Amino acid sequence: MQTFTATRISIIAERLIQDGVVRIMEEAGATGYSFFEGGGKGGHGFHPTHRPSIVEDFAIVKIEAIVSSRAVAEQIAEQVAAAYFGDQSAVMYLHEVEVLRPEKF
């Protein structure tokens, strides 16, 4: 089976930034994205400086995209960081994956 390397970029953040992250992804050239709602807590990006002694879980969303171009992945990462890392409201990670159809991403 022949596979091709692509980059998966995932952002876990409060839901209010979802539209902004998606816009960055689309403008950078991602052909699509998906998102999954969940919860999270702690210094994982969610209000760590205002953390009370007992913290409620925050409603979060994981937004992810797969792009075949490393340059596109980096553009997304840099723009998300510039737009949303100041208020500590996002966790982001990248890793390589294998895909079968590179022209799709």
Residues that bind a copy of itself (CB under 8 A): 1, 3, 6, 8, 12, 22, 26, 30-46, 48, 60, 62, 65-66, 74, 77-78, 81, 85, 91-101, 104
Least Å from the CB of residue 74 to a copy of itself: 4
Rg of the chain's alpha carbons, rounded to an integer?
Answer: 15
To a copy of itself, the closest distance from the beta carbon of 71 in angstroms equals 10
CB distance 13 to 61 below 8 Å: yes
H or E element at residue 80: helix 70-84
Residue with tokens 């953390």: 51
* Residue among 24 and 92 whose Cβ is closer to a copy of itself: 92
3 state SS of 44: coil
CB 24 to a copy of itself: min, Å:
13
Minimum Å distance from CB 63 to a copy of itself? 9
Closest to 65 in 3D by CA, of 11, 13, 103:
11
Report residue 78 as tokens: 């840099």
